Chain A
Amino acid sequence: MNHMETPALQPIVPAYHVEILTADQRAQLQAATLKILEDVGVHCPSEKALQIYAEHGARVDFSRHIVRLDPELTLGAMSYAPRFYTMGARHPDFDLRLDGKALYCATDGCGVETIDLSTRRRRPSIKEDVAMGARLADNLPEIGFYWPIVSAQDHRSTAPLHELEASFNNTVKHIQSETVMGEPSARYAIEMARVIAGDERSLRGRPPLSLLVCCIAPLAQDKEGMESALAFAEAGLPVGFMSMANAASTAPATLAGALVTGDAEIVAAMVLIQMAYPGAPVFHSLLPGIMHPHTGAYLGSAWEGTILYAIGVELAHLWGVPTLAGIFGTDALAPGWQSAGDAASSLLLIALAGAETGSGLGLLESCTLFYPEEMLLDADIYQRVRYEAAGLDTSQEALALDVIQAVGPRGHFLRHPHTRTYLRQRAFSNLSGQPAPGGDYQDPADVARIKAEWICANHRPLPLEASQQAELKKILDAADKELGSSHSSSLDRRGVD
């Protein structure tokens, strides 16, 4: 089958900005983070990481795996972190230049269930879903880069690497993994990225792969995550750290306290990377939640919840690094009022706060359920925000005084050439406002489902070269052998309902 063009990216380029924190508040938050790192420290159960911290002057308690960082050490290490860099793509037209002017969004990722497009039934996620999500993402100009949207649960312990293969084979865009954990897996993933980049210089200059590692609140690191991050950073691939500190359970019940707990976790990890590989591209991702008092659950969409994500953007910039902001995650069980309400407002605030990257479109049920049409519904909201944040043309042509004069009171503008020219340029949703037989409009969710089916059936991005495909396969085979994974035949498309 011939491949189809991947539409050019449409990042959000806001004409306006808001500052949520005052300069005093930013200084207070930063001072609190420094104080936590100095006095309380962070738990890091990796000998390798502890050695690096110790060699660079951190106070390390090797028996308890606690690292304490003096403020000078933290600020000194962070001074090496680049503020701007490029996240490369398989195709250079889709490289993301993180320059502080544009916001690029990814899909959501690492879901565990999928609504099967053909059966409409819910089942555990499989590698083929990752490939389908990649094709959808490839076709949508709103998606700047791809998080493997679900877990390739049919591939067990090498699932993260299979997710990368499915992704690289089905989109020309940048891939960011949030599942490659541990040094051995990381080495295979880096090899795969090297195959895509072609050479060492491209791998470092335009890395087609990046990694996001979650911290453990409060104030702890994951051994596998940190060792994977160190391997990625050594290869020049961007690594980011995400904290999901939950106010009242894994963080203080006050917003400021939750923010600094999460910030300290992220900064401690970024400091490690800068100590080991000064100048390595890192990013900051602070997504604190608020605990539901009755269930203990993490809530990202409480009334006050979203502002925390936007403040996370400002804190990243305070440390001089780009951010991956939290967007779109909804607790809704199906596309509807809740999923839309949760998505729209958070995205605008984050764009106005100046985020460089954000996740993620396409998942429901607290980022666990892949609903293919949700990616299109989210993309529609993305476009609303993109236009909302753009400026206004007040040129003479746009003011159209001569046209208004020609039409005059009580007239209409339908026949005027100015209308014919410019009505075509107005952007309408391709989901809502779609006429249905009988004069009504179709349900946007139905339109989205049909479009998702069409894209999945028809969109075939530029394929990887055959030699690259073969090389990825070889790497996967080696990984399967070394890491002991085999295909899980119990999870196929029919799966478990």
Chain B
Amino acid sequence: MEESLGTVERPPIEPLRTDYHLEFLTSEQLNLVQQATLTILETVGVRFPSEKALAIFAEHGAQVDWTTQVVKIPPDLVWKALATAPRYFTLGARDPALDLRLEEGVTYFTTDGCGVETVDFETGQRRNSRKADVALMAHLSDYLSSVAFYWPMVSAQDFGLTAPLHELEASWNHTVKHVQSETIMGEVPARYALEMSTVIAGTREELRQRPPFSLVVCTIAPLVQDKDGIEGALVLAKAGIPVGFLAMPTLGTTAPATLAGAFAQGDAEIISAAVLMQLAAPGAPVFHSMMHAWADPRTGGYVSYPLDSRSRFAPVETAHHWGLPSLGGAYGTDSQRVGDWQSAAEVALDAFMVALAGAEFATGIGLANTYTLLYPEQIILDDDLYQRARYYMSRVDVCPETLAVDTIRNVGPGGHFLGQKHTRQHMRNSLKRAVTHQLNEANQYQDPHTYARERVSWILENHHPEPLDPAQQKELSRLLAEAGREIR
């Protein structure tokens, strides 16, 4: 841990970069899933309980049943709409140096989001989440190099119906990184979020070029959209703010019990929404996200991490097959206990796999109990697993200097390298110390949890994100107050 006290600068963002790539699905399999999606969209359809959305679909030639609110979309219309969707775009940040330009071979990670309970860092007590938790975690995330953008990690339950807007304010006041919400729902809250984003960006044009805010909207399996989610997304898409659609099909209850079937169904939900955005705002940045789960056959419970999580990141390839960027679903253990065996066993492969699949961005570190429980120390533990993956995917330096044959010759059989100049030069960089190898004062390894706790305290004490300009702070407060009056 850094020794200095006071203000320490934020380390640069360290995304997962890799030359390696795994193809989970063959091109034939990708075509099969895509054809299945097109068939579902054309013959089964998706329910859009929004007059606005239905009208847009009808205007563009989709087959709309106004009574059942089911839209059937012919393949030609799907292709025509998606042709205007950009393959890559930029997620802006308060600080332009932290803008994220989505590109091939780079995966940016976020925190997890929208938990409802917090293990209080001071008292250790489990309680309902609140706005201060959003701010605390934004502060920590601002420092961590693994966190490229921030999902408000829990719900600001102390702010009722305007909680999602308060989450945004708490986020922007405590991190200069890009903020992505998964809770802004409905046209009115979306308009306020748009106004708040404009305050951060400066102008509407700047907002369109470098949006400091983006939105994820969940679809409802099977094959249904949420009225508020879709109408909020339409407001933002028209302003050039990136919107993504997240399908969470559950095998055996809200989706077929076979993975391929669940993929096709979830894909149909996402694509139907992406098509709507392109019909309403051609060229609007949209993204694709699927986080499937399984139904526990005994309890009906939602299981994110069964033993067989194969092709967990195959939906990333499905997104790319449509020409859309993908928000990969990583982390978020099912463990009900904090920092235990299960919370590492389930997620340890995720960062590695999602980057090998080529996701442009991925969610999200720091929550337990299936995305619902915030335990501040966990972000440090998850960050550690992330860093392991980052190194696995980095190229190894092989050159005469690193091969060190001359040094090996100097030492010879049975010697040691401690006295070698080469060792002195390279030793400092030779060990990338994990949380598991941090020493205490007695030179013994600390318990990773203890270290993680100290690390949280250290960041909070020593790193101070640049505050928002007072005029911006004031404007955000004014918008919040106005929203509080309007949204009741």
Known contacts being A254-B397, A433-B301, is A399 close to B434, with CB within 8 Å?
A: no
Q: Is the CB of A1 closer than 8 A to any CB of chain B?
A: no
> What is the distance, in angstroms, from B321's C-beta to the closest C-beta of chain A?
13
Q: Is the CB of B299 within 8 A of A435?
A: yes
Known contacts being A380-B345, A429-B307, is A36 close to B32, with CB within 8 Å?
A: no
- Whose C-beta in chain A lies nearest to the C-beta of B303? A433
Q: Is the CB of B431 within 8 A of A218?
A: no
Q: Is the CB of B257 within 8 A of A393?
A: no
Q: Is the CB of A372 closer than 8 A to any CB of chain B?
A: no
Main secondary structure of the interface of A (DSSP, over half): mixed
What CA separation (Å) do A410 and B225 show in the bound complex? 10
Q: Is the CB of B414 within 8 A of A216?
A: yes
Q: Is the CB of A409 within 8 A of B70?
A: yes
Q: Is the CB of A304 within 8 A of B432?
A: yes
Stretch at the interface among B22-30, B164-172, B235-243, B470-478: B22-30
- Whose C-beta in chain A lies nearest to the C-beta of B260? A398
Q: Is the CB of A3 closer than 8 A to any CB of chain B?
A: no
Report B391-406 residues with CB < 8 Å from chain A CB.
391-392, 394, 396-399, 401-405
What CA separation (Å) do A447 and B308 show in the bound complex? 19
Q: Is the CB of B74 closer than 8 A to any CB of chain A?
A: no
Stretch at the interface among B42-50, B75-83, B148-156, B283-291: B42-50
> What is the distance, in angstroms, from A2's C-beta to the closest C-beta of chain B?
30
Q: Which of A331, A383, A392 contacts B436 (CB 8 A)?
A: A331
Q: Is the CB of B44 within 8 A of A404?
A: yes
> What is the distance, in angstroms, from B429's C-beta to the closest C-beta of chain A?
8
What CA separation (Å) do A260 and B397 show in the bound complex? 13
- Residue interface mask B325-361, A partner, CB < 8 A = 1: 0000000001111011111111011001100100000
Q: What B residues does A410 contact at CB under 8 A? A: 47, 220, 222-224
Report B261-311 residues with CB < 8 Å from chain A CB.
261, 264-265, 294-299, 301, 303, 305-311
Q: Which of A339, A344, A400 contacts B260 (CB 8 A)?
A: A400
Known contacts being A341-B385, A418-B256, is A260 close to B392, with CB within 8 Å?
A: no
What CA separation (Å) do A344 and B394 show in the bound complex? 18
What CA separation (Å) do A392 and B309 show in the bound complex? 10
Q: What A residues does B256 contact at CB under 8 A? A: 400, 403-404, 413, 416, 418-419, 422
> What is the distance, in angstroms, from A375's C-beta to the closest C-beta of chain B?
13
> What is the distance, in angstroms, from A437's C-beta to the closest C-beta of chain B?
13
Q: Is the CB of A118 closer than 8 A to any CB of chain B?
A: no
Q: What A residues does B90 contact at CB under 8 A? A: none
Q: Is the CB of B11 closer than 8 A to any CB of chain A?
A: no
What CA separation (Å) do A379 and B384 show in the bound complex? 23
Q: Is the CB of B1 closer than 8 A to any CB of chain A?
A: no
> Interface size of B by Cβ–Cβ distance < 8 Å?
118
Q: Is the CB of A409 within 8 A of B44?
A: yes
Q: Is the CB of B254 within 8 A of A380?
A: no
Q: Is the CB of A394 within 8 A of B334?
A: no
Q: Is the CB of B159 closer than 8 A to any CB of chain A?
A: no
Q: Is the CB of B33 within 8 A of A399?
A: yes
Known contacts being A301-B436, A388-B349, A408-B223, is A295 close to B443, with CB within 8 Å?
A: yes
Q: Is the CB of A5 closer than 8 A to any CB of chain B?
A: no
Q: Is the CB of A496 closer than 8 A to any CB of chain B?
A: no
What CA separation (Å) do A18 and B388 show in the bound complex? 17
Q: What A residues does B422 contact at CB under 8 A? A: 252-254, 257
Q: Is the CB of A247 within 8 A of B349?
A: no
Known contacts being A248-B423, A340-B342, A405-B43, is A426 close to B251, with CB within 8 Å?
A: yes
> What is the distance, in angstroms, from B469's C-beta to the closest C-beta of chain A?
38
Stretch at the interface among A37-45, A99-107, A206-214, A476-484: A37-45
Known contacts being A260-B408, A303-B391, A398-B258, is A337 close to B309, with CB within 8 Å?
A: no
> What is the distance, in angstroms, from B388's C-beta to the closest C-beta of chain A?
5
Q: Is the CB of B416 closer than 8 A to any CB of chain A?
A: yes
Q: Is the CB of A18 within 8 A of B22?
A: yes
What CA separation (Å) do A424 and B142 show in the bound complex? 44
Report B444-481 residues with CB < 8 Å from chain A CB.
445, 448-449
Q: Is the CB of A250 within 8 A of B417?
A: yes
What CA separation (Å) do A385 and B423 show in the bound complex? 36
Known contacts being A306-B388, A338-B448, is A348 close to B417, with CB within 8 Å?
A: no
Q: Is the CB of A254 within 8 A of B252?
A: no
> What is the distance, in angstroms, from A371's C-beta to the closest C-beta of chain B?
11
Q: What B residues does A423 contact at CB under 8 A? A: 251-252, 257, 295, 297
Most buried by B among A28, A216, A344: A344
Q: What A residues does B218 contact at CB under 8 A? A: none
- Whose C-beta in chain B lies nearest to the C-beta of A428? B306
Known contacts being A338-B448, A423-B297, is A294 close to B415, with CB within 8 Å?
A: no
Q: Is the CB of B396 within 8 A of A255?
A: yes
- Whose C-beta in chain A lies nearest to the C-beta of B356? A18
- Whose C-beta in chain A lies nearest to the C-beta of B390? A303
Q: What A residues does B255 contact at CB under 8 A? A: 413
Q: Is the CB of B420 closer than 8 A to any CB of chain A?
A: yes
Q: Which of A218, A220, A256 contacts B402 (CB 8 A)?
A: A256
Q: Is the CB of A256 within 8 A of B403?
A: yes
Q: Is the CB of A291 within 8 A of B430?
A: yes
Q: Is the CB of B348 within 8 A of A293?
A: no
Q: Is the CB of B258 within 8 A of A418?
A: yes
Q: Is the CB of B258 within 8 A of A340?
A: no
Q: Which of A216, A337, A421 contacts B340 (CB 8 A)?
A: A337
Q: Which of B47, B405, B413 contacts A41 (CB 8 A)?
A: B413
Q: Is the CB of A79 closer than 8 A to any CB of chain B?
A: no
What CA separation (Å) do A344 and B342 show in the bound complex? 11
Q: What A residues does B344 contact at CB under 8 A? A: 336-341, 344
Q: Is the CB of A454 closer than 8 A to any CB of chain B?
A: no
- Residue interface mask B42-64, A partner, CB < 8 A = 1: 01111100000000000000000
Q: Is the CB of A394 within 8 A of B29?
A: yes
Q: Which of B223, B303, B392, B394 contacts A409 (CB 8 A)?
A: B223
> What is the distance, in angstroms, from A61's C-beta to the closest C-beta of chain B?
11
Q: What A residues does B346 contact at CB under 8 A? A: 384, 432
> What is the distance, in angstroms, from A251's C-beta to the closest C-beta of chain B?
6
What CA separation (Å) do A291 and B417 show in the bound complex? 11
Q: Is the CB of B389 within 8 A of A302?
A: no
Stretch at the interface among A180-188, A274-282, A318-326, A438-446: A438-446
Q: Which of A25, A218, A445 contacts B415 (CB 8 A)?
A: A218
- Whose C-beta in chain B lies nearest to the C-beta of A374? B341
Q: What A residues does B336 contact at CB under 8 A? A: 440-441
Q: Is the CB of A469 closer than 8 A to any CB of chain B?
A: no
Q: Is the CB of B25 within 8 A of A290?
A: no
- Whose C-beta in chain B lies nearest to the C-beta of A430? B307
Q: What B residues does A450 contact at CB under 8 A? A: none
Q: Is the CB of A261 closer than 8 A to any CB of chain B?
A: yes
What CA separation (Å) do A190 and B60 show in the bound complex? 79
What CA separation (Å) do A329 and B460 show in the bound complex? 34
Q: Is the CB of B418 closer than 8 A to any CB of chain A?
A: yes
Most buried by A among B265, B295, B310, B417: B417
Q: Is the CB of A424 within 8 A of B297?
A: yes
- Residue interface mask A61-105, B partner, CB < 8 A = 1: 000001000000000000000000000000000000000000000
Known contacts being A423-B252, A426-B308, is A28 close to B403, with CB within 8 Å?
A: yes
Report A417-472 residues with CB < 8 Å from chain B CB.
418-419, 421-430, 432-433, 435, 440-441, 443-445
Known contacts being A32-B403, A220-B414, A255-B402, is A307 close to B430, with CB within 8 Å?
A: no
5 closest pairs, A vs B, by CB? Answer: A400-B261, A257-B404, A344-B348, A43-B413, A422-B257
Given contacts A307-B392, A399-B264, A424-B297, 12 further A-B contacts (CB under 8 A): A19-B20, A248-B427, A253-B429, A257-B402, A304-B431, A336-B340, A336-B341, A336-B344, A345-B352, A392-B259, A410-B222, A426-B251
Interface pairs (30), CB distance under 8 Å: A28-B399, A36-B408, A40-B405, A40-B408, A218-B414, A247-B430, A248-B427, A249-B416, A252-B404, A252-B423, A256-B403, A302-B434, A307-B391, A337-B343, A340-B343, A340-B348, A341-B348, A345-B349, A392-B260, A392-B314, A394-B260, A400-B260, A404-B223, A408-B222, A409-B223, A410-B222, A413-B254, A428-B297, A429-B306, A435-B298
